[in-house]
Chains A and B, each alone.
Chain A
Amino acid sequence: MFKPSALSDWTLFILFSAAILTMPIWLAPLGANYPDLMQKFAIFGIFAIGFNILFGLTGYLSFGHAAFLGVGSYTAVWSFKLLTMNVIPALIFSVIMAGVFALVIGFVSLRRSGIYFSILTLAFAQMSFNLAYSVLTPITNGESGLQLTLRDPRVLDAAAGVAVGRSLPSTNLFGLKMSGLPGFYICAVMLIIAFFLSMRIFRSPFGMMLKAIKSNQTRMAYTGFNTRPYLLAAFVISGMYAGLAGSLMAVTDPLAGAERMQWTASGEVVLMTILGGAGTLIGPVLGSAIIKYAENIFSAFNTSELRQIFDFMPDGLQQVSVAVSSMFVGEAWHFTLGLTFMIVVIFLPGGIMEGFRRIGGLFRRSDAKAGKVESSAAAAHS
């Protein structure tokens, strides 16, 4: 940490930024370079990076982070309805609001650790989901979700003399419409900022303390730490990341529904982080991109497409093939996801990043071996 790694951190950051900003180019061969999907990559990347600050550094596994995602979305849509269609206030308010929620939920949940902490966060998220669905209908518009209407006040826009058209206004950044590529780029810039901050946290004394908590929490107490404020700070930060991700969802598509808070959404970010590699800087971004890409591919198939694919087979075999493969695609793609996840957790508990490390280690070792063989061969000759 005092080594020249400061330099390589900058290299990493520059490479990361370049890769994100050029996504529309290098994703083209994969057929994944359309804004809708790339926005998802960036948004879930932010969500997972934030989740990783809590889970990856402290080891506290929250099963309720989707609650903050939902809070972020609702806040953003309210900002669009009440204030302005400009995205900046929406982003700011969402992050603050998610932070406040995280402070309350974290304060209570962090009284316990381990599985009890996970269950408390899950309970809170489920409670938020149910509130959003029913009791808080005036705020959340319940089942149909919170949407823009023509009658919204938008006081700042009105004061600025923005004409009220006949169709719904679109979200914008000082006039630049947030649809298509610009929509992706605002998410991309936020992702880069999110990544930078996470890198700074990982490399700060604060990050070291969090890692120490994960490594040996009992010892922390006998070392003079009150671990709870540290954990709470990490919890709030990761909640704010989720709020940012939620508000970006609303920026690219200005509506918010309670389903965003459902436990499956909380579970998804856990999968993303673990699949990519919890506790690593890049892993969560990779994990979320892979899951969103796979979801895009696998969930698109339907039975008639499958039938077409297996058309070359004799009738009976075709039916069997379609039946079997339809267990993995379409609506059932979660089965594929679950299976992949199980395989990764069993064989690569450190996620994809550990896979990379192992491959790297293999090369290094075979290099060393080659060197040894050479030198022993030379010894034999002499």
Chain B
Amino acid sequence: MENTVLHVADVHKSFAGLHALSDIDLSVREGETHAIIGPNGAGKSTLLNVCIGRLKPDTGHVIFNGENLTGRAPHEINQLGVVRVFQTPEIFPDLTLLENVMVPILAKRDGSFKMSWFRRFSSELNVRNKAMGVLQDLGLGEFTNAMATNLSRGDKRRLELAMGLAQEPKLLLLDEPTAGMARHDTNATIDLLKKIKAGGMTKVIIEHDMHVVFSLADRISVLAGGRIICQGTPEEVKNDPRVKEAYLGEEQV
């Protein structure tokens, strides 16, 4: 078997009696794009929350490259290279776009106390240039000095993606990266994600848009009612009757 980067082992999570996740066992292999699909409220975002330390699982653990992530502080998990792109944009509204991207780059570099904090911006030109590059890749190059709060919803999603990519993660967790984007932007994002895929970055992507899923995913896990009901290649999943029943019934593929 290929190298497993992320291993979610026997995770349960319930909210006041609601079983949001049950018996979750999931392996993500190095370099693959692993899609997680499922109806609304299936527990997809909750699964990512468990991975990045926002939620603690009731039982089970999450292993990343041999390290147990369960119980670790979110910033430590990020420092290990697990980066999440949020479903609802979690940007810094009062900062400019450029600053929004520079912050994660500096965070990756200076997670704890550094005297270099007090240096001038001009000594961080490489950080700035890197941030500019990422913004340009995402088509946000024109607005680098605009306040993030003024962006449209679609552009906020792109900025969110830029903030994640800027950290050059080892494992990128994408929560519906194209939701709220126009078709044109969605296609651009797919192209970008394909490019990243070619670069070998391991990704977990949650997506409702089947077009996006089938153009990117190497493997798919289908989540319904907090359980993984089916796992396999896009072809296998497409033809699985359980999936049709639980999920595909409500959407045309």
Q: Which residues of A contact B (CB under 8 A)?
A: 1-3, 200-201, 203-206, 208-209, 211-212, 214-216, 218-227, 229-230, 233
Contacts and interface: CB of A to CB of B under 8 A. Distances in A.
25 contacts: A1-B98, A2-B122, A201-B118, A204-B118, A205-B106, A208-B103, A211-B92, A212-B95, A212-B103, A214-B94, A216-B91, A220-B75, A220-B103, A221-B73, A221-B74, A221-B75, A222-B54, A222-B90, A223-B78, A223-B107, A224-B107, A225-B107, A225-B111, A229-B113, A233-B117
B120 A215 contact: no
Contacts of B95: 208, 211-212, 215
Given A204-B119, A214-B94, A223 B103 contact: yes
B102 interface: yes
Nearest to B148: A215
A1 B99 contact: yes
Contacts of A206: 117-118
Given A3-B145, A215-B94, A216-B92, A223 B121 contact: no
A212 B99 contact: yes
B78 A203 contact: no
A212 B103 CA distance: 8
**Chain A interface helix/strand/loop/mixed:** helix
Nearest to B166: A223
A229 B128 CA distance: 23
Given A200-B118, A212-B103, 20 more contacts: A200-B120, A203-B121, A205-B117, A205-B127, A208-B103, A211-B92, A211-B94, A214-B94, A215-B94, A216-B91, A216-B93, A221-B73, A221-B78, A222-B52, A222-B90, A223-B104, A224-B75, A224-B107, A226-B73, A226-B112
Given A3-B145, A208-B95, A211-B95, A224 B90 contact: no
**Looking at B79, B84, B92, B121, which has the most chain A CB atoms within 10 Å of its CB?**
B92
Contacts of B99: 1, 208, 211-212
| Nearest 3 A/B pairs, CB to CB | A206-B117, A224-B78, A224-B107
